[in-house]
Each structure stands twice: as structure tokens, then as C-alpha cells.
Amino acid sequence: TWFPIRRSFTEVIKRAPRRYVHAVDGVSFKIEDGDVFGLAGESGCGKTTTGKTILRLVDPTSGIIGYRPRKRLLDEWKELGYEPPVIDKYGDIDIAKVPSKYLKPLRKEMQMIFQDPYGSLNPRATIYKILEEPLIIHRVGVTKDERIDIVARALEEVKLTPPEDFMYRYPHMLSGGQRQRVGIARALILQPRFIVADEPVSMLDVSIRAEILELMMELKKKMNLTYIFITHDLAVARYITNKLAIMYLGKIVEMGETRTILENPMHPYTKALIKAIPEPDPKNREKIREVPIKGEVPSAINIPPGCRFHPRCVSYDQHPELQKYCRSVEPPLIEIEKNHWVSCWLYGNPEEIIKMIRK
């Protein structure tokens, strides 16, 4: 038997060597006001961790999360006696450096829509209670009547009308699509400007996905929102995002305008993801079998050296002259053409790029 009989489970776990996972490593991107910035990739590639880190739901171990705050946020911090250090001439601040006790006002600016409309709502609370909670925490709406008004308006915004029909129901009395509308209303009730939407339609029936995506776009326009949209579905990314970053094992491997990435993918992993989109036409079934990728995603605690995609890359097999670089040096994310960034030794001269990195 491999399990030591007289030791407790906790003791065994304590004795096991500690191993750390870099769920996200060296990720860098810029989001403009009004963007819908997509983060796409397989499960476990670091999309959700990236989104949660930006919101400080996960604390980063290093790096900068630059943010241009609204006056409302600065005023609230001022009232609390906190002045965030400014990092550039535009007045941007570093969210990563905001002490935990001053994060509360930031929640009004930045919110998250969760993937699971079934698990993310408290089953014991009515829809009114679920939506009232952030109002009480952030002291929005002093009287109960004011809060009822705000909740009713939020339900109308997400098209759960008439609101009084929904306010006093429990989550289990709603369909998946209706629950996700409540999730969206909860994220928007404090009037934020930045939303991280973590696979918000992946658990919904295909028939209602488009409705939810359309609602999100409508609200974006109406409330001047900026989204990070996390998805593993490139068809959804094509529909909703204007910029897209493809992630693999905690790194961005390709990034640019969504249209450019999907029409002219350059990284072998992006090409494989695009080829893996199911082909409904039976005449094209052959294409489905030709997905150019090998094996399974390696474990995040045992990341391959060099280009972390090399054990699965078919271009690696086709380019023996590049293999020594692919195996030993991580390719940097380089702008190959305007606003199109790729991390792969197939593009550019590896010797020159390595010299530049090491300077």
C-alpha cells in the first residue's frame, strides 16, 4: 500500500513537498475604454485567474495593474484618508498596490459576472435580497423604498419585467437564462464601468446564449461599459469581442484585433483552436480530424522549458532548425504586424531576438 496507515491525511499532506503553480505568468495587455477584450484558451490556461487578478479577487505576486480611476473612486478614497500612488502622467494608479482595506470602493467601479448562473446566486435568498445586498454593503439607497426602486430598475434593465413578478422569487424558480440576467443585474447595480465576464453563456442552452450576449452589448452601449470577456468558444469571441488574446498555460501566445486573429492566425496553437471549431457540413468532416495539435495540456506544476507549447506543436516537428530555440528559450510576445502580437520562433530571427532580450 502506498498510504502510510498510522498517519493522518493532514499529516501526509503537510509532509508532501510544497509546489507552486504560476497560473498566470508575465501576461501584459492594454484595454481601452469601450473595448470588449476577449481572453480565450483551453480550461486551466489562466483566463479566469487573469480576470480575478485584475479585480483583486486574487492577489498578484508581482506586476502592475494600471487603471485610470473615475473622480467618484478618488473622492471615496479621499474620504477614507487614502491617496493611491499615481504611476504615470495620465493619473493612472496601480490596483495591485491598493491595500486590501481600501478595495471596497473599487468594487463599485469593477464587477464580475460569473459563469455559473446556478451556483452563483444564494438559493436561500430572494432575487430582491440578492440584489439589495451590494446596495447595503456600499450604502447606496438609504431607505428601503429607495433600494426597492433601484432593484426594480436593475431588473428592468436586464429585461426581467414586470420587476415585481421576479423580485420575490427564489433562484430555483427561474430558468438558467433568467438567473444569468439576475447575475448581470447584480454586477451592474452599483453602476460600474468595468466588467469581467467569466464565460457568462457557457452553461446556458444554445438557444438563449445569443439573447444574453445581445443584452450585454446593449447594456455596454447604454452604460458605457468596458468588458473583459473570458471564453473558450471562439465563435462567441468572434461575435462579441473586438480584441482578443489567446492564452496557453498561463501565457498570452497571440493577441490583436479579433478579426485579424481569427482570419489570419499565426501562432500554431491559435491555428489549432480555430481548426477545432466543429464543422457542421459533413462534406468537410476531414478537416475536423486534421486538428494540428498533439497530446494533452501538460500539468501547470510541470511547465515545459522554452516554448511551453513545444511538446504539442506540429510546427516544431516541421522546423528542425528551430527546435533548439523552441526547447530552451521562451519566445517573447512580438508585434509581427500593426496590433498583431505573436509569441513564436517561427516569426523573426531567433538569434537577433534573443540578443535583444538579453541586452
- Cβ nearer to ligand SF4, comparing 66 with 304: 304
State which of residues 113, 313, 333, 336 lies at the interface with ligand SF4 (CB under 6 A).
Answer: 313
Calculate the CA 127 to chain-centre distance.
Answer: 26
Contact flag: residue 322 with ligand SF4 (CB under 6 A): yes
Position 310 contacts ligand SF4 (CB under 6 A): yes
Please state, in angstroms and rounded to a whole number, the distance separating the CA atoms of residues 303 and 230: 23
Query: Closer to ligand SF4 at the Cβ: 155 or 342?
Result: 342
Question: Which candidate, 315, 338, 144, places its Cα nearest to that of 255?
Answer: 338
237 close to 40: Cβ distance less than 8 angstroms: yes
C-alpha–C-alpha distance, residues 229 and 122, integer Å: 24
Assess 268 for contact with ligand SF4 (CB under 6 A).
yes
**CA 11 to CA 33: how far, in whole Å?**
50
Site string for ligand SF4, 60-89 (x = CB under 6 A): ------------------------------
Residue 341 contacts ligand SF4 per CB under 6 A: no
By CB under 6 A, tell whether 112 contacts ligand SF4.
no
CA angle 342, 346, 349 (to 5 degrees): 100
Q: Work out which of 41, 250, 265, 331 binds ligand SF4, going by CB under 6 A.
A: 331
Q: How far apart are the two ends of the chain, measured CA to CA in Å?
A: 54
Give the x-and-dash track for 119-158 against ligand SF4 (CB under 6 A). Answer: ----------------------------------------
Task: Say whether residue 41 binds ligand SF4 (CB under 6 A).
Answer: no
Minimum distance of ligand SF4 from residue 228's CB (angstroms): 25
Question: CB under 6 A: which stretch of 146-154, 163-171, 175-183, 306-314 binds ligand SF4?
Answer: 306-314
Please spell the DSSP secondary structure of 183-206, one letter per residue: HHHHHHTT--SEEEEESTTTTS-H
263's grid cell = 482570419
Stretch that binds ligand SF4, among 47-55, 109-117, 207-215, 344-352 (CB under 6 A): 344-352
| Consecutive H or E run containing 312 | none
Q: Please give the C-alpha separations between residue 23 and each of 7, 48, 65, 73, in angstroms, as whole numbers.
A: 31, 10, 17, 30
Q: Which stretch binds ligand SF4 (CB under 6 A): 159-167, 206-214, 231-239, 305-313?
A: 305-313
* Residue 255 near ligand SF4 by CB under 6 A: no
How many binding residues for ligand SF4 (CB under 6 A)?
A: 13
133 vs 19: CA distance, rounded Å: 38
**CA 296/CA 197 separation, integer angstroms:** 27
Rounded to whole angstroms, the maximal C-alpha distance in the chain is 71
Question: Which member of 307, 333, 336, 341 binds ligand SF4 (CB under 6 A)?
Answer: 307
What is the closest distance, in whole angstroms, from the C-beta atom of residue 23 to ligand SF4 in the complex? 20
Nearest to 348 by CA among 329, 40, 148, 192: 329
**Of the candidate residues 37, 128, 316, 341, the single one contacting ligand SF4 (CB under 6 A):** 316
Nearest distance from residue 110's CB to ligand SF4, in Å? 33
Rounded to whole angstroms, what are the CA distances from 327 to 24, 52, 343?
20, 31, 14
Output 193 or 312, the one with its CB closest to ligand SF4. Answer: 312
Binding to ligand SF4 by residue 51, rule CB under 6 A? Answer: no
227 or 248: CB nearest ligand SF4: 248
Residue 184 contacts residue 225 (beta carbons within 8 Å): no
Give phi and psi for 65, each to the nearest 5: -120, 90
Q: Which residues bind ligand SF4 (CB under 6 A)?
A: 268, 307, 309-310, 313, 315-316, 322, 326, 331, 344-346
